[in-house]
Amino acid sequence: MDEIIKQLCDQIKTEVSTAILQGVDNAKKQSAKDSNKIESEYICRKSAAKLLSISLPTLDKCQREGLIKSYRILGSIRYLKTDVEAALLERSSMKFRGEGKNGK
What does pTM read for this prediction? 0.52
| 59 within domain boundaries | yes
Specify whether the CB–CB gap between 62 and 101 falls below 8 A.
no
Percent of the chain at pLDDT > 90 equals 31
Q: What is the dihedral of CA 79, 85, 91, 97, to 10 degrees?
A: -160
Number of compact structural domains in the chain: 1
Q: Which of 98, 90, 15 is nearest to 54 (CA)?
A: 90
Domain ranges, residue 50 = 2-96
Q: What does the pLDDT read at residue 18?
A: 86
Q: What does the pLDDT read at residue 23?
A: 84
**In angstroms, rounded to a whole number, what is the distance separating the alpha carbons of residues 11 and 39?**
42
The yes-or-no verdict on residue 58 having pLDDT over 90 is: yes
| 22 within domain boundaries | yes
Q: Would you call 66 helix, strand, or coil by DSSP? A: coil
